[in-house]
Structure 1
Amino acid sequence: MRYWLMKSEPSCFSIDDLRKSPNQTYYWDGVRNYQARNFMHDDMKIGDRLFKVDVYYIP
């Protein structure tokens, strides 16, 4: 089992959205970075664990 760290803007998908999802699972879309997309496609497996981080920008 592997552990993955994922980040997103809270306005797109927040940790509260994840808590409200059935079984606290959800599909991940909108990945624009090709290397990240390839890791998700080739290396992530069912049963791996995910840590989700909300990213806040404070000027």
Structure 2
Amino acid sequence: MKGEKRSFGKGAVAPESAVSLPYARKDLIRIGVRDYRPKAVEILLYQGKIAMNDDGAYYLIRSSAV
């Protein structure tokens, strides 16, 4: 993770500031420990907690009930 830009907690709250999540894609062939991150991204999309822009990058949806 060294050198990787992790912006989810640092302002990825609009389509313009969205970040790519390489683990959001499901791999057909996966050897080793099960990775639940793609399913978690799918659930967050379904619940409206995150959204995806036209480039396929993700950003948080700000809730007005905070």
Query: What TM-score bracket applies, with the shorter chain setting the length?
Result: 0.3 to 0.5
Q: Which has more radius of gyration?
A: 2
Taking structure 2 as the reference length, the TM-score comes to 0.32
